[in-house]
Structure 1
Amino acid sequence: MARPREFDRDAALQKALRLFWAKGFAATSTDDLREAMGIGRQSLYGAFGDKRKLYLEALNTYQRRTTSGHLRRLSEGDPIEGIESLLAGVVAEDDEERALGCMGVGSVGEFGVTDAELNERRKVFGELLSRGITARIREGQQQGSIAQTLDPGEAAAFVLMMMSGLQVAARGGASSAHLKAMARFATERLKN
């Protein structure tokens, strides 16, 4: 009979997520994971499979959580307020968390387009967010608050690029105040 699991799988996953977020996939060893998660090698493999499967689960958990938050902020207020809230919301107030940047952007930096499975996951979350931003831009154009001359798809791509840029700048040490000012500046570019 198999021994019952002696640890909280969800708590262990969150610890692995935080470690991968901080260090990336390649720089995180199995021993680093075991130590951070407080579990043995057999428990790690039994509960999560190998390091790659654990990384994919952690990244998927991170992307589901952050995308949900992005969409919630995007839906706040009128379209301009929602877009500014979306951009400002990627800026963590906590200095340590802000310095981590974005785990999703970090995976792009680490893997580029070399990993088909990561590319597919990135596409799913990216398209979901892109559709939401495009819809808010169209709504703002109908209401007259967003410039009619903007192509909604291109404007949404600009907002997504700003989100990535803000996260890279955060990882590079930019302050919360500076990043939020850039979020406001970018949002102003959409106005009529």
Structure 2
Amino acid sequence: MEKALRVFWAKGFAATSTDDLREAMGIGRQSLYGAFGDKRTLYLEALDTYQQRTNTGHVRRLSDSPSPVKGIEDLLSGLVSEDDCERALGCMGVGSVGEFGVTDPDLNARRASASAVLGRRIMERVSEGQQAGEINAGLDPDETAAFIQMTMTGLQVAARGGAKAADLRAMARFATNRLKP
């Protein structure tokens, strides 16, 4: 699964052939179909694996710091890989949006679920930050959480477009600083 995930992450669904998958996974065509059914099923499983892994990391970074503002900055800056090749992959979830838009109900449901879990936790941290005086009390927590999630998307697209790690981290700091009173 990990090898298939890497191929889909790098190439997207449409550009990935079953031969790409077979070669990366080191299995025959019948084994691929026997184990996973078809390319779409494998893609959905790979995307689920990717989203579960990344969302777990996002929530951990967001929650680890006692400071809500620091947690939000850690969430954003944690998206930035030091590895140029990995950073250039961007986000597989964001890539699926670019490739499919809102045309695929299965992907829409997966994105909505993953986004909702993270969005709720961001909103909680924003509210905590407002209560602690770290985040502007005049900001709407729902809108602020949506802004942070859109900032995450922007950072990932910029990474895929070749942005340097230092520039992405600077934008993470810039966005976080906009939340302060």
TM-score, length of structure 2 as denominator length? 0.99
In the alignment, does 2:52 pair up with 1:64? yes
**What amino acid does structure 2 have at the position aligned with 1:93?**
E
* Distance across 2 between alignment mates of 1:160 and 1:76: 18
Q: 34, 42, 47: which one pairs with 2:30?
A: 42
Shift of 1:48: 0.9
* Distance across 2 between alignment mates of 1:175 and 1:158: 22
Shift of 1:76: 2.0
**What amino acid does structure 1 have at the position aligned with 2:32?**
L
Residue 166 of structure 1 corresponds to: 155
Larger radius of gyration: 1
TM-score, length of structure 1 as denominator length? 0.93
Q: Deviations over 1:86-144 (max 9, x none)?
A: 00001111000000000000000000000000000000000000000000000000001
User: Residues 1-192 of structure 1 correspond to what in structure 2 (within 5 A)?
Assistant: 13-77=1-65, 78-192=67-181
Q: Which runs of 4+ in 1 moved over 6 A?
A: none
Q: How many residues are aligned here?
A: 180
* Distance across 2 between alignment mates of 1:123 and 1:172: 25
**What amino acid does structure 1 have at the position aligned with 2:57?**
G
Gaps of 5+ in 1: 1-12
Shift of 1:65: 0.1
What is the root-mean-square deviation in Å for CA atoms of aligned residues? 0.4
Q: State the identity as a percent.
A: 72
Gaps of 5+ in 2: none
